[in-house]
Amino acid sequence: MDPRDMYSEGHPGWGGVHDFAHGMGPEELGEALAYQADLDFQRRRNDAMYDQFTEPSEDVEDSYDDWPERARAVAAAQAGQSVRERAERLQSEAEQRRRRESAQHGRRPQRVQPSRRGEVPRVRRALITAPARTTSIRREEGLTWRHWAPVILMVVGLPVIVLLGILLDS
């Protein structure tokens, strides 16, 4: 008997090999047990995937929401640094760069507090005060047939449909 035969849904032994162990040789029993273990693994995997996409837990939601932060944290940990040390190093480098730029322009260096996400407000201020640049060229064109086509179809098509309905009805 093929061990897979006992796993058809209509078979009374669905889900258990022990009902069929009587009369099986060691090889058949081994195959049946391996097949049942494989089915159990697939069932557990499918149940986990179903649960993951139908009733997401907090862990699943977090894993989708903060994957960039987790990836950065893993990369920093693999490099032997904590995220805090890396952030402090980046902040000190930015501060040194500001001091250098200020010294070149002859201004007194000012301390700028970084925001929550590490963005420096000075950068935002520079973006706001920068002159507006137009990167796209806007074509000046009036209304074309593409704009009027739906209107023309409705104005012409609706009465034609009504007239056809009246003619076919009578």
Domain ranges of the chain: 3-57, 67-111
Q: Rounded to whole angstroms, how far apart are CA atoms 64 and 60? A: 6
Mean pLDDT, rounded, for 97-121: 64
Q: 10: pLDDT confidence band, cut at 50, 70 and 90?
A: very low
3-class secondary-structure state, position 128: helix
Torsion sign (Cα): 147, 152, 154, 157: negative
pLDDT score of 168: 93
The answer on pLDDT for 78 being more than 80 is no
For residue 75 the two structure tokens come to: 């990369």
**Using CA of residue 108, residue 113, residue 118, residue 123, what is the dihedral sign?**
negative
pLDDT of residue 163: 94
Give the dihedral sign, CA 64/68/73/78. positive
Please report the pLDDT score of residue 67 as a whole number. 59
The pLDDT tens digits for 14-59 are 445 455 555 667 777 777 777 877 888 888 877 777 766 665 555 5
pTM of the model: 0.22
Distance between the two ends of the chain, CA-based, in angstroms? Answer: 72
**How many C-beta atoms surround the C-beta of residue 110 within 10 A?**
9
